């Protein structure tokens, strides 16, 4: 048996359930207690269906899913220190950014945003984050 600190698994019904060998989030033990949230896509956790509509609607659902997971860890979006946004098309950046700014007012977390060729279930956006607990 290892004496290494164990990760605390975070799971909530208010965000989509994992569809593979991963968790919605894990909290790393230590002095800062960081929560690492798996990438969220625009799935409605109640119905399990993808949110239809433009990138703004999809971004809103993704951020609501992130909020639910972070809250399940006992934190909130104001404690997010880093996000990574994956967009299928960087032409959606401005619309995504307008919604994103409502969820992360100043001081906003550090962020990376990249265009990717494909995302799970062929969605247009996925966002992951790291937050303080």
Domain boundaries, the chain: 8-132
| Single pTM value for the model | 0.93
Tens-digit pLDDT profile for residues 52-100: 899 999 999 999 999 999 999 999 999 999 999 999 999 999 999 999 9
- Kindly indicate the confidence band of residue 19, based on its pLDDT and cuts at 50, 70 and 90: confident
The pair of three-digit structure tokens given for residue 99, joined into one six-digit string: 């919604």
Count of CB atoms situated within 10 Å of the CB of 74: 12
Active site residues per annotation: 113
Cβ(40)–Cβ(58) below 8 Å: no
CATH 3.30.1330.40 fits 8-132, yes or no: yes
DSSP 25-53: EEEEPSSS-EEEEEEE-SB-TTT-PBPPS
């Amino acid at each position: 048996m290892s004496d290494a600190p164990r990760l605390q698994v975070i799971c909530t019904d208010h965000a989509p359930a994992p569809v593979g060998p991963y968790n919605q989030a894990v909290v790393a033990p230590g002095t800062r207690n960081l929560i690492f949230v798996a990438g969220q896509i625009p799935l409605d956790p109640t119905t399990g269906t993808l949110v239809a509509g433009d990138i703004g609607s999809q971004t809103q659902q993704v951020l609501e899913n992130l909020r639910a997971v972070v809250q399940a860890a006992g934190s909130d979006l104001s404690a997010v220190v880093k996000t990574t946004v994956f967009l299928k098309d960087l032409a959606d950046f401005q619309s995504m950014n307008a919604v994103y700014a409502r969820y992360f007012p100043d001081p906003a977390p550090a962020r990376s945003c990249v265009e990717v060729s494909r995302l799970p279930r062929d969605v247009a956006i996925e966002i992951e984050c790291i937050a303080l607990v």
